[in-house]
Chain A
Amino acid sequence: MARKSITPEILQVLEPYLDRKDNEWWNQTGERKPTLPTTSDNKVNVRQLVQEIGRKPSDVQHFFNKNELYDPINVLATVQSIGPIGSRVISKNDDDIARNELSRAKSTSKAEHEAYVEAVAEISRLRKENEQLRAMKNYFQETGCVLRQTEIKY
């Protein structure tokens, strides 16, 4: 029943494609327009993307099912202010912060880069905290028990 994964094969062409789209986005002057293909309601147009990377239309399903494929696309989608395919990596909140930061990131001064790195680091910290809480919730739903996280009060 074991099957060969198609993900590495797709990733091989997706990765340079996304780098190219990122550079196209970054090198625009004036008001930036998304370089990823979009649908009429401003979401990533997966069908067109699949076509642009030279894959067959039936591969579209993998872009909805496999986070290894939709996660990197969505990172770039939030950067370009378009609706992601949907993933655990990008929350609505991250999206808003990224959009706010985006206006600053249009210029490339070192200080602004640092500010952006700090903002992303803060999101990362919060995300980690959420993951820990989610893990605790899963633990007590599975086992009925809790894992003590505080010191014992004497």
Chain B
Amino acid sequence: MKTYRIVVDNVPLLGKGITVFSGVSEKNKRVRCVTKQKISPALGEAYDVTGEWNYDPGYGRQFHTDIVVRQKLSGRLIIPYLINTLAGVGPERAKKLFDAFGERLGEVFSSPGGVAQVAAILNPQMTTYAIKTATLICEVWEAQNTEFATLEWLELHGITDYSTGRKVARILGDKAPELLAANPYILSTALAWPKMDKVGLPILATRKTAQSPKMAPERLVGAIDSVMRDRIAKGHTAILKHELPPLLSKKLGLGESAVRRAIDLGVSNGAIIDGCDIWRAPGCAFMEDDIKVRFQGMIGGKESSLVEVPDGDRLRQLLVNQSNCKGIALYPEQVEAVIKVLGGQLRLLRGGAGTGKTTVIRAIAETWIELGGRVEMAALAGKAALRISQTTGKLARTIFRLIKGVNESQQGLPLDDQPVLDARTLLIIDEASMVDLGQWHQLHSAMEAGCRLLMVGDPAQLPPIGFGLLFHIIAELEPVTASLKTIHRQTGASGIPEVSCSIRDHIMPILKPYIGIDSGVSHVDVPTAQIPNMVKKIVDDLGGFETSNDIMVCTALNDHATGVDGLNELFSKCREASIEIDPVKGFFGQWFLPNDPVIHLKNDYREGLFNGSIGRVLDVFPSQRKILTVFDNEEKSFSSEELLNLKLAYAITCHKAQGSQAKRVIIPISETLLLDPTWLYTAVTRAEEQCVLVGDLNVLTEALQRKAAYEKRQVGFTI
């Protein structure tokens, strides 16, 4: 066993199960570390790593370590830290500073006259430039010390989640350890309650008061924060008032009077906000109210665009011209939708699958540009952004990219093609039903006054994965909503429109029996235990998972025989038995063979891959534990560590499937509360030609009686 102290200068992999990072030691030795310890090292941080050297065929010598302990930076290690973390400090300056101050470097940075001393070393003439650079160095050093002190405090109390620690340090600043010591329950919104209590109670017990630590006001308010945190994790932003006391009592392990005291303290300390029959979570309430004021202003005419929109008749004429020149032919309902959308600052376009939303978006975008405006389009998922780009012929980004681009533009980065959300812009958000409250707040913050917003989506689909509900509520506002009801893309003969409409209305649809390749929605009645084999048989009937067959298996569960994991294992084993090629081992039981469909599990903007991107394996290289794939017609290779981000995609969850479609969709009907009308509607409308439901009809009937997922959300947003 060996131990090195290194400063991190590269983190090639930050995964759930494995982390790879490298850096240089005090003796200038390069160490590439592989650890299963749950850490998230950042550039410039110092760690003591203990372990052994091993040889990897792809990467050569690697240091496998399970003991990774963060250390305070000192002495010579400050040099690589400066080079890695401070923009503008290169090797020459770093060396100059170390030569001047040696091991005392950290002390000088922290001392009151540090800036002047550092500036004098950078340039003896003490130029303005040198002073500014010296200030930045001392500033970064101070931030590093603050972060270290916070992480040290957290570690001392058994909290080793560095990612949370860094966030806390950034928010609380240099007072973090002091604030945490005074009230450890500050962390209630960041930690699970049992952990929180384990940290908090012993600290409160050291106080010299007669009060029991369990009844300490800090703990009572912390419990409220924790209940609201749990609610937010389930998608709510509020809680019915009568639901709070039992949850609070369970957290605190205390009776009625303590709960009453906790609620009083919660109100006076802003842990809950009164919303008539609900208590609202303060962070969500702030965002909901902020957006409400903005949207009401947009609807009420407090904001106006610099683009002048002609009246109805002239606009109609413009659309006729466009139809002639650009071939965008619109049905009367679609013409009215375009006119309504262009009639105001904030609009929502709703419509089910096949109603022609994309055609309407294209007409709106072309008209807006013709009127002298600028169009920015975005969707949550990369796939959805790509689809809207392809169908409208205009650039669409992910919301993440859009916001990042706007921020960079506002900071003055003169890059080409940066998005601009100013008073000439019409911002179109597609698949808007999937966007959560935090993302809407980011979008609203990025939009300058006068920027128009169009939300496009289908309220019958699943609500966002994250917290809050906006789209579904605004969709009920008639004055701002344009509705498309007539189905154009899917023909009546396919049966998909009729079935999806019935599901949306909670009515059991008429399903024909499955007969093999067909169009429309059919059903195979089998008990739950037989679902996996029946799904396999249907896939074979329909031609198998060849690209040209375009089959999607859309399921509700993850770890179940009828869920993603069970079905992927089944299909993977059948493939393994049918071909004589060694598979490449991934992580968490994944084995990859040529032609396997795969899904990417995280966003990697540099590579143009997103959480939910679906590709296919082209070739495998077992000796190097490497595979070659294709995503959106681009080849990408994945080395052993990068395989952590890939999973087989014979079956995917409906949430991952949202925003994409396939010619034929197979839906195993699993017995789960997740199965409700919105889930079924979303799954069925993924199909372009054929949809096969597999399972017990009684489970389906029961699912249709459930409330739609969005109706169960308790939120404070109103408009």
Contacts and interface: CB of A to CB of B under 8 A. Distances in A.
A142 B402 CA distance: 16
A95 to B, nearest CB: 10
B286 A12 contact: no
B115 A132 contact: no
Contacts of B125: 23, 26-27, 108
A86 B411 contact: yes
Contact of A141 (B93, B133, B413, B438): B438
A152 B87 contact: no
B331 interface: no
Contact of B90 (A15, A22, A131): A15
Contacts of A69: 87
Given A121-B115, A147-B190, A75 B414 contact: no
Contacts of B415: 64-65
Contacts of B91: 8, 11-12, 15
A148 B438 contact: no
Interface string B414-445: 11000000000000000000000111011000
Contacts of B408: 86
B284 A144 contact: yes
B123 A113 contact: no
A23 B123 contact: yes
Contact of B189 (A85, A143, A154): A143
Contacts of B286: 140, 146
A128 interface: yes
B116 interface: yes
Interface string B91-135: 111000000000000000000000110010011011111111101
A88 interface: yes
A86 B414 contact: yes
* Binding site secondary structure of chain A: helix
B24 to A, nearest CB: 13
Nearest to B604: A1
A98 interface: yes
B559 interface: no
Contacts of A50: none
A57 interface: no
Contacts of B133: 72, 75
Contacts of B560: none
Interface in A102-154: 102, 105, 108, 113-114, 116-117, 120-121, 123-124, 127-128, 131-132, 135-136, 139-149, 151-154
A149 B88 contact: no
B593 to A, nearest CB: 21
B229 interface: yes
B239 interface: no
A102 B167 CA distance: 36
B232 A124 contact: no
Interface string A49-63: 000000000000000
Interface stretch (B62-70, B179-187, B381-389, B582-590): B179-187
A96 interface: no
Contact of B131 (A86, A120, A146): A120
A6 interface: no
A120 B268 contact: no
Contact-residue bracket for chain A? 35 or more
Contacts of A48: none
Given A86-B411, A86-B414, A124-B135, A117 B116 contact: yes
Contacts of A71: 87-88
Given A68-B87, A121-B135, A102 B128 contact: yes
Given A19-B123, A136-B171, A152-B217, A145 B189 contact: yes
A113 B119 CA distance: 11
B633 interface: no
Contacts of A38: none
Interface stretch (B347-355, B487-495, B501-509, B636-644): B636-644
A132 B281 CA distance: 21
B127 A135 contact: no
Contact of A153 (B269, B412, B441, B607): B269
Contact of B414 (A14, A64, A113): A64
Contacts of A140: 283-284, 286-287, 438
Contacts of B466: 144
B136 to A, nearest CB: 7
A1 B639 contact: yes
Contact of B136 (A75, A143, A149): A75
A87 B410 CA distance: 9
A103 to B, nearest CB: 11
Nearest to B641: A2
B232 A120 contact: no
Contacts of A11: 90-91
B283 A144 contact: yes
B200 interface: no
Contact of B186 (A75, A105, A144, A147): A147
Given A22-B129, A132-B170, A148-B225, A75 B283 contact: no
Given A16-B92, A108-B126, A135-B167, A143 B87 contact: no
B129 A147 contact: no
Given A12-B92, A68-B87, A147-B168, 14 more contacts: A8-B83, A8-B91, A69-B87, A79-B127, A88-B411, A101-B128, A117-B135, A120-B115, A132-B170, A140-B284, A144-B287, A147-B189, A149-B179, A152-B269
8 A-B pairs closest in CB distance: A86-B412, A72-B88, A145-B189, A71-B87, A140-B283, A11-B90, A135-B170, A141-B438
Interface of B: 12, 83, 87-88, 90-93, 115-116, 119, 122-123, 125-133, 135-136, 139, 143, 167-168, 170-173, 179, 182-183, 185-186, 189-190, 217-218, 221, 225, 228-229, 232, 237, 265, 268-269, 271, 281-284, 286-287, 408, 411-415, 437-439, 441-442, 466-468, 607, 636-639, 642
Interface of A: 1-2, 8, 11-12, 14-16, 18-19, 22-23, 25-27, 64-65, 67-69, 71-72, 75-76, 78-79, 84-89, 98, 101-102, 105, 108, 113-114, 116-117, 120-121, 123-124, 127-128, 131-132, 135-136, 139-149, 151-154
17 contacts: A8-B90, A75-B133, A79-B132, A85-B414, A88-B411, A108-B126, A117-B115, A117-B116, A124-B135, A128-B173, A131-B170, A136-B171, A145-B228, A145-B232, A145-B283, A147-B171, A148-B221
